[in-house]
Amino acid sequence: MAVDEAIFRAGREIKIPPTIRFYGWKNPAVSLGYFQNAEREINCGYCRERGIDIVRRPTGGRAVLHGDDLTYSVVAGENSPHFSSDIVETYSIISTCLIRGLEKSGIDAEMVKEGRAGSGPVDAFCFSTSCRNELLADGKKICGSAQVRAKGIFLQHGSLLMDFDPAEVCAVITKDTGADTGTLERSVTSIRRSVGESVGMDTLCRNIAAGFEEVLNIRLMNGKLFPEEERLKDSLLKSKYRNTRWNMGQGSKSGH
Catalytic residues: 126
C-beta of 58 vs 166, nearer to another protein: 58
Q: Is the dihedral of CA 194, 196, 201, 206 positive or negative?
A: negative
Residue nearer to another protein on the CB measure, 129 or 174: 129
Residues 6+ apart with CB under 8 A from 164: 68, 127, 184, 188, 189, 190, 192, 193
7/52 with CB nearer another protein: 7
Beta strands 140-150 and 19-23 are unpaired
Q: In the complex with another protein, which residue's Cβ is closer, 87 or 111? A: 87
Strands (E), the chain: 19-23, 29-32, 53-56, 64-66, 69-77, 109-111, 135-137, 140-150, 153-161
For another protein, the closer CB: 87 or 210: 87
Q: How far is the CB of 48 from another protein (least distance, A)?
A: 27
The whole-angstrom separation of Cα 175 and Cα 156 is 30
| Footprint of another protein (CB under 8 A) | 33-35, 58-60, 79, 84-89, 91, 131, 146-151, 154, 252-256
Specify whether the CB–CB gap between 135 and 102 falls below 8 A: yes
